[in-house]
């Protein structure tokens, strides 16, 4: 390191520069990190002590949880302490060490996810040879290979970094040390090093992701020859893995599959794979996995065996379809979760209430529901059947919904009252914020109230109304995001004609077209669903009414309607997303001919929009670009586009935009002066 010209420490700018925002982030990220360590640690401990979780799948899951703890710990503790520090520094040696361990654990996780995909492939496609192929020595070798792969990848990154000389400045525009921000500080040309990182990180992520997708395509093709029950079980085992893969690889490919350049939104995107994904690992693998939940309760000594008795259930269903156990102090407790009652028998000193997956337990409609042709209400299963989890979710989602309404409303008021925000970009932003409020309000208030309700019901007409408004506002948001991309294209590529092309009348027409597009899209969905007969059961495995869960309850064949819904929902999302990506490709090509300052401003104006587009369209395409099948992870994915994206809209568009922040301060000052008068 003799060529560093005495650069001994680096200054980290952090996620935000505003001290008040940093304090808020400290309060948010400290509990998130604690939850990450405790949740993943609990999975490791549960798999270690439970005799029921000794299969290869849980063996790999325990190592994945261990890697998540170490991976997050290389970044988040330093990040949290820096949120309260005035000057955020790190030594050059510490920076290099952080890069090494960050990429070491990150790529080890990538290899582990690939190994887990192979494990699911063998379990589903070659079940008779599973125990032979995935023997204990093979599992140990696969885990060891994952650690070695992470080590070799990280060594390449470090060797590339140590060859660089750093003459100054020494300020890293990030909240941790990573390669692209560090390359910007090097004295020499880093195009060769950037190409090596692109191959070592970006192409590696792409190939791993394609390999994972290919493995699941093979699994899905193989499932065509299985029974419906076999398909359901196989998809259930893969759903949590698919969710983790998407959340991890999406941001990683976005950051590393490009030359050594940085965007203003890179820090926010990095939060997903350094903070959010490690926290979601225990949630996804436990809330959707009955075996893990029961093993955790046994770990705490809360669960004894239980016998479920019901005149409507066969012994096989009583044994296989148990979802969760809750202790009760009353003997002979009856659970009224359907027009039928399930009674538990006393065993030992505990009386356990057993909740079951009702749509899977009940006999076919022809047995005793042939005359029930008028379904007047639907029952939601909600996000989680666990009452303790529901109470925690109530507090979390109530706070999130309040932040959604207040944050987006503040943007609307700021744009309406500020003269400096009179450009078309902010005109569309105000409408987007208004749509976010309406869109979130169609699902979240009902979700919050149901979290404290014993019986989560909605009338048939209420379900149809909720469905129509969800797709109305979602379709409107898709068209608005497309309009905003066109606005950025005109502003950057045709700046001299911008005011002429994007005049007030044109902007009003474009907003009107967005609303009209939402109406047409919603009417198409409703007409497809409304004509279906619903004979029962009436239990929706979701927390709101959506097309795919409703198709599962219809009495008739829904294959053709499922294809039409894919064409109307999934194809619309894909086409809009492709158009948006194409518009930004054109913008990036045009920006190459501008000055560095011009490129910085252009990328800054587009960065927030790209982030919103990615977070909104990713989950939508995952949900709607498939036929009438549902996955256990659908509810967790739906949280992203019904709760997370509307919440991030004001955060991304205000915290990263100096004009909006100044206008908000002026609005606050005027409000305070009026209050004093």
Q: So what's the pLDDT on residue 492?
A: 80
Contact yes or no for 208/114 (Cβ under 8 A): yes
Confidence of residue 258 (pLDDT cuts 50, 70, 90): low
Q: So what's the pLDDT on residue 629?
A: 64
pLDDT average, residue stretch 365-389: 67
Range with lowest mean pLDDT among 121-130, 305-314, 449-458, 593-602: 305-314
pLDDT average, residue stretch 165-184: 83
Range with lowest mean pLDDT among 128-142, 398-412, 550-564: 550-564
Confidence check: pLDDT of 487 > 90: no
Q: So what's the pLDDT on residue 606?
A: 66
Q: So what's the pLDDT on residue 299?
A: 66
Q: How far apart are CA 213 and CA 120, in angstroms?
A: 12
Q: So what's the pLDDT on residue 588?
A: 72
Both structure tokens of 392: 């925690």
Q: So what's the pLDDT on residue 197?
A: 75
Q: How far apart are CA 488 and CA 606, in angstroms?
A: 7
Residue with tokens 């016998």: 307
Q: So what's the pLDDT on residue 338?
A: 33
Range with lowest mean pLDDT among 207-211, 273-277, 597-601: 597-601
Q: How far apart are CA 347 and CA 306, in angstroms?
A: 7
Q: So what's the pLDDT on residue 335?
A: 35
Confidence check: pLDDT of 144 > 60: yes
Q: So what's the pLDDT on residue 637?
A: 82
Confidence check: pLDDT of 143 > 90: yes
What lies within 8 Å, CB to CB, of 474 at 6+ separation is 439, 518, 521, 620, 641
Fold topology of 2-298:
Rhopdopsin 7-helix transmembrane proteins (1.20.1070)
Q: So what's the pLDDT on residue 140?
A: 92
pLDDT average, residue stretch 331-348: 34
Q: So what's the pLDDT on residue 146?
A: 92
Q: How far apart are CA 539 and CA 528, in angstroms?
A: 20
pLDDT average, residue stretch 57-68: 90
Confidence of residue 648 (pLDDT cuts 50, 70, 90): confident
Confidence of residue 308 (pLDDT cuts 50, 70, 90): very low
- For residue 279, how many C-alpha atoms fall within 13 Å in the half-sphere facing its CB? 14
pLDDT average, residue stretch 375-390: 86
Confidence check: pLDDT of 665 > 80: no
Confidence of residue 311 (pLDDT cuts 50, 70, 90): very low
Which CATH number describes the domain made up of 387-676? 1.20.1070.10
What lies within 8 Å, CB to CB, of 222 at 6+ separation is 124, 125
Highest mean pLDDT: which range of 186-190, 237-241, 550-554: 550-554
Q: How far apart are CA 439 and CA 478, in angstroms?
A: 12
Range with lowest mean pLDDT among 9-18, 251-260, 340-349: 340-349
> Of residues 105 and 200, which shows the higher confidence score?
105
- For residue 343, how many C-alpha atoms fall within 13 Å in the half-sphere facing its CB? 7
Q: What is the pTM of this model?
A: 0.50
Both structure tokens of 433: 């914020």
Confidence check: pLDDT of 271 > 60: yes
- For residue 141, how many C-alpha atoms fall within 13 Å in the half-sphere facing its CB? 6
Confidence of residue 437 (pLDDT cuts 50, 70, 90): very high
Confidence of residue 105 (pLDDT cuts 50, 70, 90): very high
Range with lowest mean pLDDT among 177-181, 306-310, 323-327, 415-419: 323-327
301: left (phi over 0), alpha (psi -120 to 50) or beta: left
In the chain, where are the structural domains located? 2-298, 304-362, 387-676
SS3 for 316-366, per residue? Answer: HHHHHCEEEEEEECCCCCEEECCCCEEEECCECCEEEEEEECHHHHCCCHH
Q: Is 387-676 in the same CATH topology as 2-298?
A: yes
Confidence check: pLDDT of 365 > 80: no
Helix (H) or strand (E) holding 89: strand 89-91
pLDDT average, residue stretch 114-119: 88
Q: How far apart are CA 89 and CA 10, in angstroms?
A: 6
Q: So what's the pLDDT on residue 94?
A: 87
What lies within 8 Å, CB to CB, of 483 at 6+ separation is 428, 510, 511, 513, 514
Confidence check: pLDDT of 185 > 80: yes
Q: So what's the pLDDT on residue 259?
A: 60
């Amino acid at each position: 390191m003799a060529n560093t010209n005495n650069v001994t420490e680096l200054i980290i700018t952090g996620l935000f520069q505003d001290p008040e925002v940093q304090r808020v982030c400290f309060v948010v990220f400290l509990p998130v990190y604690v939850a990450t360590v405790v949740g993943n640690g609990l999975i490791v401990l549960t798999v270690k002590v439970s005799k029921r979780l000794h299969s290869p799948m849980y063996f790999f899951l325990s190592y994945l949880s261990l890697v998540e703890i170490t991976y997050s710990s290389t970044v988040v503790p330093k990040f949290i302490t820096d949120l309260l520090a005035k000057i955020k520094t790190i030594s050059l040696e510490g920076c290099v060490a952080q890069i090494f361990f960050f990429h070491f654990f990150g790529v080890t996780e990538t290899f582990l996810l690939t190994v887990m995909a192979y494990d699911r492939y063998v379990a589903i496609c070659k079940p008779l040879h599973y125990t032979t192929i995935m023997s204990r020595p093979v599992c140990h070798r696969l885990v060891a290979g994952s650690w070695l792969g992470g080590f070799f990848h990280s060594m390449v990154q470090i060797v590339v970094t140590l060859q660089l000389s750093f003459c100054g400045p020494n300020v890293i525009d990030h909240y941790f040390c990573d390669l692209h921000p560090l390359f910007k500080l090097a004295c020499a040309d880093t195009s060769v090093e950037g190409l090596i990182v692109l191959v070592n990180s970006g192409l590696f992520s792409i190939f791993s992701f394609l390999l994972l997708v290919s493995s699941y395509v093979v699994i899905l093709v193989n499932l065509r020859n299985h029974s419906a029950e076999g398909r359901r079980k196989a998809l259930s085992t893969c759903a949590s893995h698919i969710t983790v893969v998407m959340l991890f690889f999406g941001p990683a490919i976005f950051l590393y599959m490009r030359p050594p350049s940085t965007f203003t939104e890179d820090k926010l995107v990095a939060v997903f794979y350094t903070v959010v994904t490690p926290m979601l690992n225990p949630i996804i693998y436990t809330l959707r996995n009955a075996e893990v939940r029961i093993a955790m309760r046994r770990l705490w000594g809360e669960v004894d065996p239980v016998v479920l008795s019901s005149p409507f259930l066969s012994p096989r269903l009583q044994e296989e379809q148990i979802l969760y156990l809750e202790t009760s102090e009353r003997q002979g407790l009856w659970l009224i979760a359907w027009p039928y009652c399930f009674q538990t028998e006393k065993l030992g000193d505990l009386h356990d209430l057993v909740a079951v997956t009702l749509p899977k337990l009940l006999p076919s409609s022809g047995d005793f529901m042939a005359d029930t042709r008028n379904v007047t209400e639907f029952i939601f299963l909600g996000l989680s059947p666990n009452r303790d989890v529901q109470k925690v979710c109530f507090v979390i989602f109530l706070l999130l919904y309040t932040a959604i309404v207040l944050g987006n409303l503040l943007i609307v008021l700021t744009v309406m009252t500020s003269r400096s925000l009179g450009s078309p970009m902010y005109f569309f932003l105000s409408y987007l914020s208004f749509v976010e409020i309406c869109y979130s309000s169609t699902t979240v208030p009902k979700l919050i109230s149901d979290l404290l309700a014993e019986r989560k019901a909605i009338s048939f007409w209420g379900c149809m109304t909720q469905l129509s408004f969800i797709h109305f506002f979602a379709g409107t948001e898709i068209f608005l995001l497309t309009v905003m991309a066109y606005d950025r294209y005109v502003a950057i590529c045709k700046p001299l004609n911008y005011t002429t092309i994007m005049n007030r009348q044109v902007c009003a027409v474009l907003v009107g077209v967005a609303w009209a597009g939402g109406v047409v899209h919603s009417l198409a969905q409703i007409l497809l669903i409304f004509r279906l007969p619903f004979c029962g059961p009436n239990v929706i495995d979701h927390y709101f009414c959506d097309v795919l869960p409703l198709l599962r309850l219809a009495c008739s064949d829904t294959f053709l309607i499922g294809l039409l819904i894919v064409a109307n929902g999934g194809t619309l999302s894909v086409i809009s997303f492709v158009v948006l990506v194409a518009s930004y490709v054109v913008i990036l090509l045009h920006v190459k001919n501008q000055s560095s300052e011009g490129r910085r401003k252009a990328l800054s104006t587009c960065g927030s929009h790209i982030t919103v587009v990615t977070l909104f369209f990713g989950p939508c395409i995952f949900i709607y670009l498939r036929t009438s099948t549902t996955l256990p992870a659908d509810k967790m994915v739906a949280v992203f586009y019904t709760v997370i994206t509307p919440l991030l809209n004001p955060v991304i568009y205000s915290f990263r935009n100096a004009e909006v922040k100044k206008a908000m301060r002026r609005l606050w000052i005027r409000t305070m002066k009026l209050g004093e008068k």
